[in-house]
């Protein structure tokens, strides 16, 4: 985490340990059931560290790709929840001036997408599971497979 407790990144244990060891970061959460050993000492495994000096980070935009869109939508059709045959669906169809933006795109299965065709979701009688949004970098931190429950409280505060 940054000095102000905003999440920065997920790093390796050795990097986190080194930052603490060199007094560049404070250990905020550790796993005391696992010990790291040096020749003469042992240390708890760092889980969350906070660097001591604030780093200015530019806003990290998530690139709009098919894969990132599916990730934002948990790999589910936003109309029926299917996880099969996923496509990108423009809420306002391109033929009606709809743009390729985070807020105009949702994950839809082939069936729902063709049912919707050139209509708006309302016109096609489809209901969205949730409003599409531009995901933040933290959304993607949260979707990593190596997520640990100890990180939850620190990521919660960062959700915009
Ligand atoms: Zn569907």
> What count of other Cβ atoms lies within 10 Å of the Cβ of residue 64?
15
What spacing in Å lies between the alpha carbon of 84 and ligand 1's midpoint?
A: 8
What spacing in Å lies between the alpha carbon of 88 and ligand 1's midpoint?
A: 11
What spacing in Å lies between the alpha carbon of 115 and ligand 1's midpoint?
A: 9
> What is the per-residue pLDDT for 116?
94
Torsional sign, CA 27, 54, 64, 89: positive
Class of domain 66-116: mainly alpha
What spacing in Å lies between the alpha carbon of 159 and ligand 1's midpoint?
A: 28
What spacing in Å lies between the alpha carbon of 103 and ligand 1's midpoint?
A: 18
Three-state SS annotation for 79-141: CCCCCCCEEEEECCCHHHCCCCCHHHEEEEEHHHHHHHCCCCCCCCCCCCCCCCCCCCHHHHH
What spacing in Å lies between the alpha carbon of 64 and ligand 1's midpoint?
A: 21
Residue 149 pairs with which residues in a beta bridge? Answer: none
What spacing in Å lies between the alpha carbon of 13 and ligand 1's midpoint?
A: 41
- Chain centroid to Cα 17, Å, comes to 24
For residues 61 and 102, the answer to whether their CB atoms sit within 8 Å is no
What spacing in Å lies between the alpha carbon of 138 and ligand 1's midpoint?
A: 27
> What is the per-residue pLDDT for 160?
40
> What is the per-residue pLDDT for 8?
84
> What is the per-residue pLDDT for 144?
60
Q: Can you tell me whether residue 22 is helix, strand or coil?
A: coil
First to last CA, the chain: 16
Largest CA distance in the chain: 71
What spacing in Å lies between the alpha carbon of 109 and ligand 1's midpoint?
A: 4
Torsional sign, CA 104, 157, 29, 148: negative
> What is the per-residue pLDDT for 58?
74
Residue ranges per domain, the chain?
13-59+136-159, 66-116
Cβ within 8 Å of residue 61, ≥6 positions away = 137
> What is the per-residue pLDDT for 159?
43
pLDDT tens for the chain, 160 residues: list them.
Answer: 999 988 888 888 899 999 999 999 999 999 989 888 888 888 899 999 999 999 887 777 788 999 889 989 999 999 999 999 999 999 999 999 999 999 999 999 999 999 999 999 999 999 999 999 988 777 676 666 567 888 877 776 444 4
């Amino acid at each position: 985490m940054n000095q102000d407790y905003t999440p920065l990144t997920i790093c390796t244990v050795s990097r986190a340990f080194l930052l603490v060891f060199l007094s560049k970061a404070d250990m905020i959460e550790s796993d005391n059931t696992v010990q790291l050993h040096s020749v003469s000492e042992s240390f708890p495994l760092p889980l969350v560290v906070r660097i001591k000096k604030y780093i200015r980070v530019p806003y990290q935009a998530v690139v709009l790709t098919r894969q990132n869109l599916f990730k934002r939508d948990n790999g589910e059709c936003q109309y029926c929840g299917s996880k099969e045959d996923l496509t990108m669906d423009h809420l306002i169809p391109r033929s009606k001036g709809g743009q390729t933006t985070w807020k105009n795109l949702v994950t839809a299965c082939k069936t729902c997408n063709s049912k919707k065709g050139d209509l708006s979701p309302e016109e096609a009688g489809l209901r969205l599971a949730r409003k599409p949004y531009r995901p933040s970098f933290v959304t993607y931190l949260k979707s990593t497979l190596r997520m640990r429950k100890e990180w939850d409280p620190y990521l919660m505060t960062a959700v915009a």
